[in-house]
């Protein structure tokens, strides 16, 4: 503590150590939040459903996605990444996950949304198993914090099925 440089160094080191501690505590404070998100998806129309030249089934559909993810936001939340996936079982794979739509929610004000959309990414099967297939639509999300641990969770919505015939 005898010189200017020594004092400046000691102060900086201690200040940064405390800053790390503060960040760790704000990350831990996220655990105090118990979110209660809700979501609802309605398949309005199967636009077309066919087998591609490669022999893989492909579907285009129009959906209505509504969700309220406001309770996921805390003071330490930077943004929330959310995606809707179709999940189904085939003889080949016990779990197929096809991302149909995604989005980034930048703030709590935008976390209660309602969107009318066709699938943003192609709903293609690995093979030809989609005729009359029952599938789940699952809303997955990743909560990205300003500092610390990232949280991920999902809501599974079941009871959707594809038509038996191509159209």
Classify residue 23 as exposed, middle or buried by CB count within 10 Å of its CB (0-12, 13-18, 19+): middle
Stretch that binds another protein, among 50-58, 64-72, 73-81, 133-141 (CB under 8 A): 73-81
Query: Quick one: 109 or 165, whose CB is closer to another protein?
Result: 109
Smallest distance, another protein to C-beta of residue 21, A: 7
Length of the chain: 167
Check residue 27 for interaction with another protein (CB under 8 A).
no
Segment interacting with another protein, rule: CB under 8 A, options 2-10, 41-49, 79-87, 131-139: 2-10
Site map 39..58 versus another protein, x via CB under 8 A: --------------------
């Amino acid at each position: 503590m005898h010189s200017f440089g020594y004092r400046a160094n000691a102060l900086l080191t201690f200040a940064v150590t405390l800053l790390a501690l503060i960040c760790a505590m704000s990350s831990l404070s996220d655990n105090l939040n118990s979110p209660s998100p809700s979501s609802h998806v309605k398949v309005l129309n199967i636009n077309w459903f066919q087998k591609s030249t490669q022999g893989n089934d492909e579907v285009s559909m129009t959906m209505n996605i509504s969700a309220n993810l406001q309770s996921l936001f805390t003071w330490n939340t930077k943004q929330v990444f959310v995606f809707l996936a179709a999940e189904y079982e085939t003889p080949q794979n016990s779990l197929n996950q096809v991302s149909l739509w995604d989005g980034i929610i930048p703030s709590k004000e935008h976390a209660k949304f309602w969107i009318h959309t066709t699938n943003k990414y192609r709903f293609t099967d690995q093979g030809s198993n989609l005729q009359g297939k029952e599938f789940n639509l699952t809303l997955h999300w990743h909560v990205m914090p300003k500092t610390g641990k990232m949280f991920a969770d999902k809501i599974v919505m079941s009871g959707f099925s594809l038509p038996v015939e191509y159209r």
